[in-house]
Structure 1
Amino acid sequence: MTKRYDKEFKLQTVQMIKEEGKVVAQVARELGISENTLYRWITEYQESGKQAFPGSGQLKPEDKAMRDLQKRIRDLEEENDILKKAMHYFAKDRR
């Protein structure tokens, strides 16, 4: 079973490494977390800053915006298809 860590814990751990200059291997041993996990957390923090570690079911703001835009595109494409079918139906009636 994979252990879950909350955002605050991850942020504190990364700050311990980045700001206090602790060695990743030492922190990994002290906390019982793999070094690979800590390096992944550091990378995510460097890429996203305080927006890192959004939590399960949560999206980063830019990911949410992208998902919302993709949904809007799908909705518009579906509406466009319906209108095309209606146009063909009514054009057929005029003949």
Structure 2
Amino acid sequence: MGSKYTKRYSEEFKRDTIALVDSSGKTVTAVARELGISSESLRGWYRQAKADRGEGRPCDLTTQAREELERLRKQNAEQAKTIEVLRKAAVFFAKESDR
């Protein structure tokens, strides 16, 4: 995750900052410098906002798609654990029935 020194910005701040980039005609780096935030953070927010609006690169996932992907990965991991437990149980009971 992030270090304990990582700043957390509200969604409202991110929205306002992205709107400032769109409306000012300034570069992401210039706006970030003016606001005293990391240009890489603002660039990431801006790229994600463009993807959510359907303006991003074809490989950029929307926020909704990212959340769905995360949910499916968690579900997949849980199912893999369940399958492993069932596999071990099947091996155990197969050995028990041979006795």
Instruction: State the TM-score bracket (shorter-chain normalisation).
Output: 0.5 to 0.7
1:61 corresponds to which letter in structure 2? E
Structure 2: tracts of 5 or more residues without a match:
52-59
Structure 1: tracts of 5 or more residues without a match:
53-58
Q: C-alpha offsets along residues 10-68 of structure 1, whole Å, 9 cap, x if unaligned?
A: 23323432x3233212211232112122122233443233x27xxxxxx7121111111
Give the % identical residues: 26
Deviation at 1:6, TM superposition (A): 2.3
In the other structure, the counterpart of 2:38 is 34
Aligned residues: 84
What does 1:1-95 align with in structure 2 at a 5 Å threshold?
A: 1-17=5-21, 19-20=22-23, 21-45=25-49, 46=51, 47-49=60-62, 51=63, 60-91=67-98, 93=99
Q: Distance in 1 between matches of 2:71 and 2:16?
A: 25
TM, length-normalised to structure 1: 0.68
Following superposition, which runs of at least 4 residues in structure 1 exceed 4 angstroms of deviation?
A: none
**Greater radius of gyration (CA):** 1
TM, length-normalised to structure 2: 0.66
